[in-house]
Chain A
Amino acid sequence: MSNQSKQSFTRKWRWLAGAAAGLAAALVLAACGGDDVGGEREGDVEVAEGGRPTGEITISQWPGYIDPGSNGTVAEFEQRFGVNVNYIEDVNDNVQFFGKLQPQLDQGQSGGRSLFVVTDWMAKQMYDLGYLQEFSHEDLQTVFDNILPQFEESDSDPERKFSIPWQGGLTGIWVNTNQAPEIRAVEDLFDPKYKGKVTMLAEMRDTMPLVMQSQGIDVENATTDDWLNTIDLLREAADSGQIRRFTGNEYTEDLTSGNVVAAIGWSGDASLIGREGIEWRRPTDGCDTFFDQMVIPVGAPNTAAALAFMNFAYRPEVQADIATYVNYVTPVEGVQEILLQRDPELGRNELIFPPPELTEGCTADPNPPGSAEDQQEVTEEYQDLITG
């Protein structure tokens, strides 16, 4: 070999050797940990300990879901119990929050959180995966004394051992009554007249039941094919530009700036209530309810304080403060009477205290049917749809 090529040959070898050494080192490092990913957490379900609340507590919550400020519920709680509350509003979407927290929950950690609020179907999923602690009813006297009878048990948590309702509401249509007063049904959203001026929720369990009902499908008994066909229908609408986008909470922006005339959205949306020309409507061809739940995760540092907070939130006066600000459905008894005294109009607000006719026949954030694989297929197809 000539000198030149011998040099470059050695150089190449050295390079390879260096890379191999580096890889080997990385492998060794990485070998010291991590086997299974995903799946159920092993171990028994922990039961949250009660006791006198002290110290500090971190609560993760949806934005705008509590009355804020120095007179707000959190401040009151801090004063009453001498507990320091770190209240973070970092739950913007059930699935995103789950995705962010999952690796830690899998290892039995909660990232410092003692309490957080997610929608009931997500709470059940988390529980099934072993990410939540249970609690005993004895530690939650105030809760179970004051909870409205219809919330004492639920499909996702029949014995109420891992989730306590926070607030709930209905999924329906927010309409710009100045520009599109005729929109009253989910079917209207597919009218070409409103092409590009309509948004739907990215949350599958909100949008799908509504659209299926508008197609005349019985959601409780729907098959996987029903779900998939509906997704195809939505995909057509999305590709053609009929549906402008699939949103999280930010549909409010598009509505107020006039980008859209109608959006599938949640009934108590604080930023839209009271605005001129924008109104929430229960669709004539279907409806859906949801209820968010307080849960205690595994690895929660201060369960006593978390339980105390739950009890505190179920005091009617406290709940009345929350309901005044948040305008969602409250699960606590006695709140309506208090509100009727304070502000009669609020006390009669159908969105906070829905009469039975409003919620009759509504679905409740259903899961897709069938086996785990079927569910996975539907979820994937839907995700495919909304990510464009």
Chain B
Amino acid sequence: MAWLRRNGLRIYAGFAVLYMLVPIIVIAVFSFGETPRDRLNFSLGGGFTLEYWENAFAIEELNDALRTSLELAALSTVASTAIGTLMALALVRYQFVGRRASNLLIVLPMATPEIVIGASLLSMFIIYTIALGFTTLLIAHIMFSISFVVVVVRSRLIGFDRSLEEAARDLGATPFQTFRYVTLPLILPGVIAAALLAFALSIDDFVISNFNSGTTVTFPLYVFGVALRGIPVQVNVLATMLFVVTVAAILLVIWQQRRAERMAAVAPEPEPQPQVA
């Protein structure tokens, strides 16, 4: 019974993670199903086949779409995380004129339905005759990601223990050095969480992209196009691959970390770290 009390939360977490993975499991399972005309309507009844895995990259448009989405997401994430983190720092750390207005400016994009952002951006691009395409998509993606980055980084910055920074400054570090060697590493988990969110937002975006992409096709736009008449099984295959690759990459990172720890155990003991959780 006590075991249950101690590990109850962990067991719950296990189920919760499973719940989150349910659709991806379904997607993976259906990537092995035999379907008429190679177009999947998520219906059971065919046999098991590896055919689609062998021909995973057979559909040129799908590959292009996925590549475009990944490029777009990478660029958008880097830009919006950088811009957003700077903004969050300004908003939490400093009192200045226009602070309230800036807070409002951050909140507004999140309160706006995507369709409105998409349509209004489109009108503006048209009126200023800016050609629609990858660039306009990138602009839009960065724009809607900034707010989210700010909110996430901000919640990490609030209540941040300033004494470490003060200590660094007392020891003669310039503000820039303090930021680089003390602040940044400590807020890094928050920044990474924000970056993850920005990446997911970009890769996932459908509505705003639909309005501002011109003839550029992103992965979600491609899926929408084919969803109505039958999704090619390769979509499932690539989606599963994407998931597996991401998880594998993380496992690699963890394995590297453990190796580093083990090596450090052999090396002379480093200075004791401050006990901040």
Task: Determine direct contact between A and B, CB below 8 Å.
Answer: yes
By a beta-carbon cutoff of 8 Å, the part of chain B in contact with chain A is 36-37, 39, 41-43, 61, 97-98, 100-101, 122-123, 126-129, 132, 210-211, 214-215, 217, 221, 224-230
Q: State whether B97 touches A14 (Cβ < 8 A).
A: yes
* Contact of A253 with B42 in the complex, beta carbons under 8 Å: yes
From DSSP, what is the main secondary structure of chain A's interface residues? loop
CB-CB contacts of A89-114 with B at 8 A, as 1s and 0s? 11010000000100110110101110
* Interface contact A63-B123, CB-CB below 8 Å: no
Q: Is the CB of B215 within 8 A of A248?
A: no
Contact with B along A14-55 (1 / 0, CB 8 A): 110011001000000000011000000000000000000000
Selected from B97, B126, B128, B228, the residue in CB contact (under 8 A) with A18 is B97
Using CB atoms and an 8 Å cutoff, list the residues of chain A in contact with chain B. Answer: 11, 14-15, 18-19, 22, 33-34, 58, 60, 62-64, 86-90, 92, 100, 103-104, 106-107, 109, 111-113, 248-250, 252-253, 256-257, 269-271, 274-275
* A63 contacts across to B, CB distance below 8 A: 225-226, 228-229
B36 touches A275 (CB 8 A): yes
* Distance to closest chain A CB from B116 (angstroms): 14
CA distance A104 to B229 in the complex (A): 27
Q: How far is the CB of A322 from chain B (nearest CB, A)?
A: 15
Contacts of B128 in A (CB 8 A): 33
Q: Are B228 and A249 in contact (CB-based, < 8 A)?
A: yes
The CA of A14 and the CA of B101, in the complex, are separated in Å by 11
Asked whether, in the complex, the Cβ of B39 is within 8 Å of the Cβ of A64, the reply is: yes
With a cutoff of 8 Å between Cβ atoms, the chain B residues found around residue A104 in the complex are 126, 132
Contacts of B97 in A (CB 8 A): 11, 14-15, 18
Residue of A107, A250, A269 touching B126 (CB-CB under 8 A) = A107
Specify which chain A residues have a CB less than 8 angstroms from the CB of B215 in the assembled complex: 58, 60, 86, 88, 111-113
Minimum C-beta distance from A24 to chain B (A): 14
In the bound complex, what is the Cα–Cα distance between A90 and B227 (angstroms)? 11
Residue of A nearest to B224 (CB): A92
Task: Evaluate contact between A22 and B228: CB separation under 8 angstroms.
Answer: no
Which 7 pairs of residues, A with B, have the shortest CB-CB distance? A249-B228, A63-B229, A271-B230, A34-B127, A33-B127, A64-B229, A256-B43
Contact B227 A250 (CB under 8 A): yes
The count of A-to-B residue pairs whose CB atoms sit within 8 angstroms is 88
* Closest A residue, CB atoms, query B212: A100
Q: B229 and A271: CB pair below 8 A? A: yes
- 18 pairs, CB–CB < 8 Å, chain A vs chain B: A14-B97, A14-B98, A15-B101, A19-B101, A34-B127, A60-B215, A63-B226, A90-B225, A100-B210, A107-B126, A109-B129, A113-B215, A250-B228, A252-B41, A252-B229, A253-B41, A269-B229, A274-B36
Q: Assess the B229–A249 pair: CB atoms within 8 A.
A: yes
Q: How many Å from the CB of B176 to the closest CB on chain A?
A: 29
Which residue in B41, B132, B210, B228 is a CB contact (below 8 Å) of A256?
Answer: B41
Tell me the minimal C-beta distance from B115 to chain A in angstroms.
10
Complex Cα spacing A109 to B127, Å = 11
In the complex where A63-B228, A89-B225, A89-B226 touch, is A103 in contact with B122 (Cβ < 8 A)? yes
Measured in the bound complex, the distance between the Cα atoms of B228 and A92 in whole Å is: 7
